[in-house]
Structure 1
Amino acid sequence: MKKNTVFSILTCSIILFSTSCKKDTDTTESSETMSDNLLLQDYTGPYGGVPAFDKMKVEQIEPAVIAGMEQGLKDIEAIANNTDAPTFKNTIEAMERAGSGLDNVFTYYGIFGSNMSSPEFREVQGKLAPKLSEYTSKINQNEALFKRIKSVYDASQKTPLEADQQRVLELTYKRFEMNGAELDDVKKKRYAEINKELSSLYNKFGDNVLHDEENYITYLTKDQLDGLSEGFIKSAAKIATDNGKDGQYAITNTRSSMDPFLTYSTNRELRKQVWTNYYSRGDNGDEFDNNTLIAEILKLRRERVELLGYKNFAEWRLQDRMAKTPENAMQLMLAVWPAAIARVKEEVADMQTVADASGQKSDIEAWDYRYYAEKVRQKKYNLDSDEVKQYLQLDKLTEALFYTAGRLFNYKFTPVAEGKVPVFHEDVKVWEVTDLDSGKAIGLWYLDPFARPGKRSGAWATTYRSHTTLDGPKTVLASNNSNFVKAAPGEAVLISWDDAQTFFHEFGHALHFFSSNVKYPTLNGGVRDYTEFQSQLLERWLSTDEVINQFLVHNKTGEPIPASLVAKIKKASTFNQGFGTTEYLASALMDMKLHLADPENIDIDKFERETLAELKMPKELPMRHRTPHFGHVFSGEGYATAYYGYMWADVLTSDASEAFKDAPGGFYDKEVADKLVKYLFAPRNSMDPAEAFRKFRGRDAKIEALLRDRGFPVPTEN
């Protein structure tokens, strides 16, 4: 998500907002002509103005960023050199407005970086990375500016400001302190140099992963399709044709293509090939290999925080997170880990029995896990994932999102007529969002659902404009982005239950954006191990009776999903939790251990292998994100030593969901829903997350709810 641009450039999030940041001043266009650059202009049109996505061009990016940075530094200098005594209004509030010229630029930049990347853009991106790093360092290390911030902060310790002002002030002060504002000149210089080096490394890391996603495609012939569904085959045929391979079938190197193939293909050797392609991204021993880059990133991160007096990156990073310390984060993960790997052992035993009976004369391997897990699901619960998928139509699930938003938030989503709001690709659709309590349009929701070349993998949410009232109320422009495989013409887009949960998850982020009631842009930010809580919580509404009974209908017959099938889904709700929990936790533990280790001469491949062995990682499954393609952690800093945050948020989610389960109206109980919006969504970062949860729940969250959710043993008190 975007906060004030001046301070958000180097805090890029892979799940929420991607702004890898970059530039070189070899352009001859001067800033005096920048008023003609579309990307720097205010949005025009309906809904308080909308991005001109239909007119943006890659060549506009570099000069727009340069001009925006020039103006941003002028804004900062004006604040820093103000001769009036520092106050909240002339210092902190002025900073909230500083650098606003870059806000729109980075909306377009984010689209080119995440949704419509190209070799031309990546070249610009690489040139801009060090320049944007320098820009941020000039602000963070401005002594006169920090002196004014500190003066306002010190005064507030004696005479506190209004609650939201105090929160903005404390977040601003802490941000500058954590980024070297109090270092001496020599250390400041090195700190800035490190940030500049890292920005280029992050950019290169992401480009390498994207290269491997685009260039490792598995093409099948007609005799290699056994086990695959008709819809998947038609989609794979279209992708192959689009890639100039008419008559073949393409399995792209993305999760949305890999996952169903590994689940249903009967061809074990092909499963191995597809699995290997996917989990080897960034690790192919060629010019696009990321292992050396990771080692350098870890070394530079450690050196940078040592300048500030911290022992390691994790200690520095977590001080302003809910976990506070690496020890607390590790304690949570290791409390769940034994139960997770124990469950994997049980799951593998069940799968091996099925594999042996089918004639497979070898042990379960990682490329077998999804395939035989599906066989076990069918045997144990008589539940076929492909049968469930026939009731999970993307269009109907989109309606389910709107229904949920209406019941909990009183929001209405209305399609915007094609052509009224510009979009950057024909696949993108737009809805107007109305708050029925006020009767006012509060923003627009953009949906970019399908995979395509140049679009990064995964699913994420972002904003093109956030709500604030500092200079009058602003409508929200929010976007959800997925990588579903487009169906063949005339066919419904069918997705898996897991993908449907992710769809709800990302929509939870969008609702968090729309519900904001903050005045200051900084308060639209978030605490990383808390911001995933709201989105993870929204996943729970997918399995409510109201959603199931209204929106899960068969794609061919239109018949509602049978009650017997729903019962099977709910009965199997904790099935395969060993796999899901272990693959995630392994990545989170690896993230933390890498940043706690001595980075000098670290061998990334060896460290990964030895750490997994030390954790007794089951050999039958991989980490969700292997280190060489762990973009959350190494293509930016948003989730570095913070990937554990999904687990932290899941504790909050499990506990909060029990509040709904226990309420008279269940998951649609009005009183609990009102508290949900009031304390957990609308305040954004204007309230300490722990305090906000206590106001909602009446106490702190308990890990026992998480263990119950996953069907793991809950320890009893002695």
Structure 2
Amino acid sequence: MSLFETKFNTAPFSKIKAEDYLPLIKTEIENTKKEIDAIATASEKPTFENTVEALEYAGYNLDRLTSMFFNLNSAETNDTIQKQAQEISPLLSEFSNDIRLNEQLFERIKTVYESKDNLDLSPEQTMLLDKKYKGFSRNGANLPEDKKNTLRDIDKELSKLSLQFGENVLADTQSFELLITNEEDLKGLPEGTVEAAKNLAEAKEKEGWLFTLDYPSYVPFMTYAENRELRKQLSLAFGSKAFHGDDKDNREIVLKIAKLRYQRAQLLGYQTHAHFVLEERMAKTPETVNNFLNELLEKALPAAKDEFTKLTDFAKKTDGIDTLQKWDGAFYSEKLKQQLFNLDDEKLKPYFKLENVVNGAFEVAHKLYGLQFEQITDIDVYHEEVTTYKVTDAEGTFVAIFYTDFHPRPGKRNGAWMTSYKSQYIENGENSRPHISIVCNFTRPTATKPSLLTFNEVTTLFHEFGHALHGMLANTTYPSLSGTSVYWDFVELPSQVMENWCFEKDALELFAKHYETNEVIPMEYVEKIKESATFMEGMQTIRQLSFGLLDMSWHGVNPLDITDVQTHENAAFESTKMYPDTPETCMSTSFSHIFQGGYSSGYYSYKWAEVLDADAFELFLEKGIFNKEVADKFLTFVLSKGGTENPMDLYKKFRGSEPNPEALLRRAGLLKK
């Protein structure tokens, strides 16, 4: 345990060099194998305690090391880490199969499982037993030996392919640069964006202004740059990541991943990968998911078409644009929004200084759940830009350690995510508290301005903070049922519900203060934020649905006959298509959520959880957004329970009924009043 003998038992980042992870993880795999063997070969009759519970606590150090390593591979990678990842991933995949295909161990678990009705287990113990049993039975424990070996080969190959996929996307993201040397080409861009581009160019010893595919550089350029040709250049670069026919091209990898996942599902007796995945989700079947996506599509399509027509007419009237292209969407949407609402991000950004927004999220959590966040500087971090907090409750009791990492840099992938360095659990009567981190990519401060967020970035921060609260407020016995260890289509509820506070006056007044004058955001801006919340909502909804449909088109069918990634993708997008096709681009080759992250057959869950969050937040609106009674119920039945009960049961305990899908349509303005 010496490695984790640190203050609060936090991750010892400075003690471990990049090249040390492989040998350390190998050692911990061997140690965990010994623990597993002791459980599997025990002479005592199998019981819940000596088999299921013992297995739950095996491999503690290994879990902690791997969570450190894989977050580093996303947030602070380098050649050494990437090279180690290529060895570590297949090792872990092989090791997890060693456990799941261990016949002696499975027999002991099966014995306990088959006698569960006589064991007087608590609901949480029953859930743990079910989860452990299914972990084996759903992953090949009942297969004959030759098929077990095939499964091992598939899993090893898949772990390597998804890593390679991510490395290719990162390499393509970071290799593209748009260097502008003519000041005229900066027309329309906000002053802060121009300054950031100048700083970036100087940092790379270049003359001019440098733009990249990192979100804080890419998004403002696409939204404000008047030079249409340069918008096109940037858009095509963004849309063609890992799609250049070179050694970083992901087309073959996409086909291989889809086909291997299908073969794996078939081997285990499932029709497709989606059938396998969805069995352990709220949605249960691909039919349910496809019906859900298509019903929403039917509701949103008329509004989306109407919005697209309005946008097309506006672009034609404004600049004589005959055919609206993908690189025109954000630019003319922003112009139209400014005209309709007299509101743009540049007006709002001065009120959203990063530090204020972070403190605002903390204040919302304090008002709802009594949490207090104290910045501390005496625990290890993996980069100087990471900030750490000690989190306590209203009584001053220790709740969690919380890490934040907010700016893009080389070696850090795009996007935003939450991760856990240590799960919460209760062992021998002691409640061991979690260590949670959120990672984002927001505009850096410049010489003249602090980091000022767009409103979209504000909601992103609140979203990830919602995931963090789910992790921090966990209060369960077992680590594998703790925090965000819930059904995948339930995991986005705590994150998405948090975004709602960003639209409420009483919450905004806590933190939306001008960075120079400290003036609270004017009421008219708050009203306009709410008014414009449903602006282009039809098109936004269609966009999200198109990603869900693309995911299901790869995973809910037999993909063995798919030979061309782009042709397949175009067919999947047909029902949601607005803009003309761009043959130079392909989304699948950089769709990291489903080919590298854990969202395969699960992208629909963002929309699924939106139904839950819209319905849940209506209760807050009804009783008051800081109503203690509602907040306590949400904490008791959602945030603290993790995966200890069926999510729909938990939701009904909080809300009193199943979610009403109309709540989402009402909020999105897609329901005819």
Does the alignment reach a TM-score above 0.5?
yes
- Comparing 360-369 with 81-90, greater Cα deviation is found at 360-369
**Aligned pair in 2 of structure 1 residues 322, 280: CA closer, same or farther (>3 Å)?**
same
TM-score normalised by length of structure 1: 0.90
Q: Give the equivalent residue in structure 1 for 2:412.
A: 455
> Which letter does structure 2 place at the counterpart of 1:117?
T
**Aligned pair in 2 of structure 1 residues 310, 111: CA closer, same or farther (>3 Å)?**
closer
Deviation (angstroms), 1:313: 0.7
User: Which of 22, 25, 47 does residue 65 from structure 1 map onto?
Assistant: 25
Deviation (angstroms), 1:378: 1.1
User: Which of 478, 489, 508 does residue 447 from structure 2 map onto?
Assistant: 489
- Comparing 467-476 with 276-285, greater Cα deviation is found at 467-476
Q: Give the equivalent residue in structure 2 for 1:556.
A: 516
Are 2:406 and 1:442 equivalent residues in the alignment? no
User: Which of 284, 301, 304 does residue 324 from structure 1 map onto?
Assistant: 284
Q: Give the equivalent residue in structure 1 for 2:436.
A: 478
Aligned equivalents of 1:354, 1:549: Cα separation in 2: 34
User: Which of 492, 504, 507 does residue 462 from structure 2 map onto?
Assistant: 504
Q: Give the equivalent residue in structure 2 for 1:34.
A: none
- Residues 94-493 of structure 1 mapped to structure 2, 5 A cutoff: 94-221=54-181, 222-245=183-206, 247-416=207-376, 418=377, 420-436=378-394, 438-471=395-428, 472-493=430-451
Deviation (angstroms), 1:50: 1.7
Partners of 1:283 and 1:290 within 8 A in 2: yes
**Aligned pair in 2 of structure 1 residues 625, 531: CA closer, same or farther (>3 Å)?**
farther
Aligned equivalents of 1:647, 1:96: Cα separation in 2: 32
Aligned equivalents of 1:72, 1:415: Cα separation in 2: 35
Deviation (angstroms), 1:557: 2.6
Aligned equivalents of 1:671, 1:621: Cα separation in 2: 51
**Aligned pair in 2 of structure 1 residues 611, 67: CA closer, same or farther (>3 Å)?**
same
Aligned equivalents of 2:112, 2:526: Cα separation in 1: 58
Deviation (angstroms), 1:304: 0.9
Aligned equivalents of 1:255, 1:234: Cα separation in 2: 16
Deviation (angstroms), 1:101: 2.4
SS of aligned partner of 1:309: coil
Partners of 1:341 and 1:618 within 8 A in 2: no
Aligned equivalents of 1:216, 1:579: Cα separation in 2: 28
Q: Give the equivalent residue in structure 2 for 1:26.
A: none
**Aligned pair in 2 of structure 1 residues 53, 151: CA closer, same or farther (>3 Å)?**
same
- Comparing 190-199 with 561-570, greater Cα deviation is found at 561-570
Aligned equivalents of 1:71, 1:44: Cα separation in 2: 18
Partners of 1:587 and 1:625 within 8 A in 2: no
SS of aligned partner of 1:572: helix
Aligned equivalents of 2:321, 2:441: Cα separation in 1: 36
Aligned equivalents of 1:384, 1:649: Cα separation in 2: 28
Are 2:670 and 1:709 equivalent residues in the alignment? no
Deviation (angstroms), 1:586: 0.6
User: Which of 74, 79, 89 does residue 39 from structure 2 map onto?
Assistant: 79
Aligned equivalents of 1:105, 1:368: Cα separation in 2: 45
SS of aligned partner of 2:435: strand
SS of aligned partner of 1:414: strand
Q: Give the equivalent residue in structure 2 for 1:14.
A: none
**Aligned pair in 2 of structure 1 residues 107, 616: CA closer, same or farther (>3 Å)?**
closer
- Comparing 452-461 with 103-112, greater Cα deviation is found at 103-112
SS of aligned partner of 2:14: coil
Partners of 1:350 and 1:376 within 8 A in 2: no
Partners of 2:3 and 2:12 within 8 A in 1: no
Partners of 2:503 and 2:526 within 8 A in 1: no
Deviation (angstroms), 1:490: 4.3
Q: Give the equivalent residue in structure 2 for 1:677.
A: 635
CA RMSD of aligned residues (A): 1.8
Aligned equivalents of 2:72, 2:493: Cα separation in 1: 28
Q: Give the equivalent residue in structure 2 for 1:629.
A: 590
Aligned equivalents of 2:72, 2:174: Cα separation in 1: 16
Q: Give the equivalent residue in structure 2 for 1:527.
A: 487
**Aligned pair in 2 of structure 1 residues 83, 112: CA closer, same or farther (>3 Å)?**
same
Deviations 1:257-302 (A, max 9, x none): 2111111110101111111111111212211111111111111111
Partners of 2:556 and 2:601 within 8 A in 1: no
> Which letter does structure 2 place at the counterpart of 1:446?
Y
> Which letter does structure 1 place at the counterpart of 2:449?
E
Aligned equivalents of 2:324, 2:252: Cα separation in 1: 32
User: Which of 451, 454, 474 does residue 516 from structure 1 map onto?
Assistant: 474
Among the aligned pairs, what percent are the same residue? 35
Q: Give the equivalent residue in structure 2 for 1:609.
A: 570
Aligned equivalents of 2:127, 2:46: Cα separation in 1: 17
**Aligned pair in 2 of structure 1 residues 491, 394: CA closer, same or farther (>3 Å)?**
same
- Comparing 551-560 with 321-330, greater Cα deviation is found at 551-560
- Comparing 340-349 with 277-286, greater Cα deviation is found at 340-349
SS of aligned partner of 1:433: strand
SS of aligned partner of 2:405: strand
SS of aligned partner of 1:687: coil
Deviation (angstroms), 1:675: 0.4
SS of aligned partner of 1:89: helix
SS of aligned partner of 2:490: helix
Q: Give the equivalent residue in structure 2 for 1:31.
A: none
Deviation (angstroms), 1:579: 2.8
SS of aligned partner of 1:169: helix
Aligned equivalents of 2:369, 2:165: Cα separation in 1: 39
Deviation (angstroms), 1:132: 1.7
Partners of 1:463 and 1:477 within 8 A in 2: yes
**Aligned pair in 2 of structure 1 residues 41, 341: CA closer, same or farther (>3 Å)?**
farther
Q: Give the equivalent residue in structure 2 for 1:4.
A: none
Partners of 1:341 and 1:617 within 8 A in 2: no
Deviation (angstroms), 1:625: 9.1
SS of aligned partner of 2:373: strand
SS of aligned partner of 1:463: strand
Deviations 1:172-223 (A, max 9, x none): 1111111111111111111111101111111110111011111012122233
> Which letter does structure 2 place at the counterpart of 1:430?
T
User: Which of 27, 32, 43 does residue 4 from structure 2 map onto?
Assistant: 43
TM-score normalised by length of structure 2: 0.96
- Comparing 149-158 with 450-459, greater Cα deviation is found at 149-158
Aligned equivalents of 2:174, 2:425: Cα separation in 1: 39
SS of aligned partner of 1:42: helix
Aligned equivalents of 1:320, 1:640: Cα separation in 2: 13
Deviations 1:376-419 (A, max 9, x none): 10111122221112211111101111111101111001111x3x
Partners of 2:566 and 2:586 within 8 A in 1: no
SS of aligned partner of 1:228: coil
Deviations 1:218-260 (A, max 9, x none): 1222332111111111111112222232x32221212332111
Partners of 1:533 and 1:653 within 8 A in 2: yes
Aligned equivalents of 2:581, 2:514: Cα separation in 1: 33
- Could you tell me which runs of 5 or more consecutive residues in structure 2 were left unpaired when the two chains were aligned: none
Aligned equivalents of 1:414, 1:425: Cα separation in 2: 19
Aligned equivalents of 2:176, 2:165: Cα separation in 1: 17
SS of aligned partner of 1:462: strand
SS of aligned partner of 2:665: helix
